[in-house]
């Protein structure tokens, strides 16, 4: 199915965002420092945002207070129900950790296997620098090269070794030829190389690389990557993107709008696709943030209908895509039946002047 792009945020979005401190006070007065407090605040903001177009001027604050109280009351009822049924739940303990000696032997085996993928010259270069401490200048003389070229080659070889080590440690052969280049690009933290090999697209369709490369995908300091499968992951995604927005200079109101939009698209992943991934990056050419939510679910059969306010197929608030769209400056949906959905949304930072 084609794309749907929408520019602009809802006119009452900033007005709703300005209610954040008041809603926080109402929620905190009832739950204190409970871990769910911020989640309840965000849920209240989402509900108020969805109802805002129907609320008369001057009544938004009163509606927000009532909504906050209702959200908290619902939370306590759910907690009470969970407590009553908890004795019926199985308490599955984690299996005991393997013997440290076995782990050490497996680690050495994986390192040897990774080194075995290099040529003799490549292996000599890496071992001379990493083990013997030979400088890049000395290596450049030995290999008839330049220090810069040697440093670049070492960087590429280290990335390959990290990727091969993870493959060997998994004791599973990669399912496709693209897996090794993708893992190496992740390990090398090379943005250009990531684009060339299509890292993000490949991760959406390859369970092997998602698992094996999990420790590598969070290596970028300015990139947020959160795998989403549970309600707890929704909270983690929202908080992580909010922190990045703060680092990028967004004010508190914009941070609220962005994190609420993330909550909505992440909740759609959990409800309809079971699992997916939310990533966030600074915009490369403008002061802003880009959020991408990808899943491998059934896809959206009717994007136009799904973008209408109030539309829902699971009995929820119906704020998901329409609510997120109103909060961001651009919003794009790409979906294919049986192959999943990718939502890309951006918000620009206000000019400090």
Identify the architecture of domain 105-217 in CATH: Orthogonal Bundle (1.10)
- pLDDT, residue 140, reads 87
* Mean pLDDT across 162-179: 86
State the CB neighbour count (10 A cutoff) for residue 190: 17
Q: What is the pLDDT of residues 293-310, one digit of tens each?
A: 988 888 887 777 777 655
- State yes or no: pLDDT of 51 exceeds 50: yes
129 CB-contact burial (10 Å; exposed 0-12 / middle 13-18 / buried 19+): buried
Indicate the CATH number of 4-78+221-348 among 3.30.365.10, 3.30.565.10, 3.30.9.10, 3.40.50.150. 3.30.565.10
Domain ranges of the chain: 4-78+221-348, 105-217
Selection from 72, 84, 29 nearest residue 47 by Cα: 72
* Mean pLDDT across 217-244: 80
- pLDDT, residue 2, reads 39
- State yes or no: pLDDT of 211 exceeds 70: yes
- State yes or no: pLDDT of 114 exceeds 80: yes
* Mean pLDDT across 12-32: 83
- pLDDT, residue 104, reads 59
Distance CA 165, CA 206 (A): 18
pLDDT band at 100 (very low <50, low <70, confident <90, very high): very low
Residue 312 near residue 296, CB atoms below 8 Å? no
- State yes or no: pLDDT of 126 exceeds 70: yes
- pLDDT, residue 314, reads 45
- pLDDT, residue 7, reads 35
* Mean pLDDT across 143-165: 87
Task: Provide the edge-to-edge strand list for the sheet that holds 330-336.
Answer: 4-7, 330-336, 340-348, 288-295, 276-282, 224-228
């Amino acid at each position: 199915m084609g794309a749907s792009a929408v520019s602009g945020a809802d006119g009452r979005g900033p007005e709703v965002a300005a209610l954040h401190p008041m809603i926080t006070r109402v929620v905190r007065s009832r739950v204190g420092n409970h871990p769910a407090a911020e989640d309840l605040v965000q849920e209240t903001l989402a509900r108020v945002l969805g109802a805002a177009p129907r609320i008369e001027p001057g009544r938004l604050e009163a509606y927000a207070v009532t909504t906050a109280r209702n959200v908290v009351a619902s939370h306590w009822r759910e907690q009470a129900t969970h407590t009553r049924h908890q004795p019926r739940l199985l308490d599955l303990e984690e299996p005991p950790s393997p013997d440290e000696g076995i782990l050490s032997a497996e680690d050495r085996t994986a390192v040897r296997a990774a080194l075995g993928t290099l040529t003799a010259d490549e292996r000599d270069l890496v071992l001379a620098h990493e083990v013997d401490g030979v400088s890049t200048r000395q290596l450049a003389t030995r290999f008839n090269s330049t220090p810069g070229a040697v440093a670049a080659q070492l960087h590429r070889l280290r990335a390959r070794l990290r990727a091969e080590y993870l493959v060997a440690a998994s004791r599973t052969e990669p399912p496709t030829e693209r897996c090794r280049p993708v893992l190496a690009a992740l390990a090398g933290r090379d943005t250009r190389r990531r684009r060339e090999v299509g890292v993000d697209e490949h991760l959406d369709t390859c369970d092997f690389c998602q698992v094996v490369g999990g420790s590598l995908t969070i290596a970028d300091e300015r990139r947020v990557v959160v795998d989403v499968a549970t309600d707890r992951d929704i909270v983690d995604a929202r908080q992580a993107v909010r922190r990045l927005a703060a680092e990028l200079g967004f004010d508190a109101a914009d941070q609220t709008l962005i994190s609420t939009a993330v909550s909505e698209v992440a909740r759609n992943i959990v409800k309809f696709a079971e699992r997916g991934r939310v990533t966030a990056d600074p915009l490369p050419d403008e002061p802003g943030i880009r959020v991408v939510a990808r899943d491998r679910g059934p896809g959206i059969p009717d994007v136009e209908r799904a973008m209408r306010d109030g539309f829902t197929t699971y009995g929820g608030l119906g704020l998901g895509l329409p609510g997120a769209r109103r909060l961001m400056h651009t919003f794009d949906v790409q979906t294919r039946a049986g192959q999943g959905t990718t939502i890309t949304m951006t918000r620009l930072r206000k000019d400090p002047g």
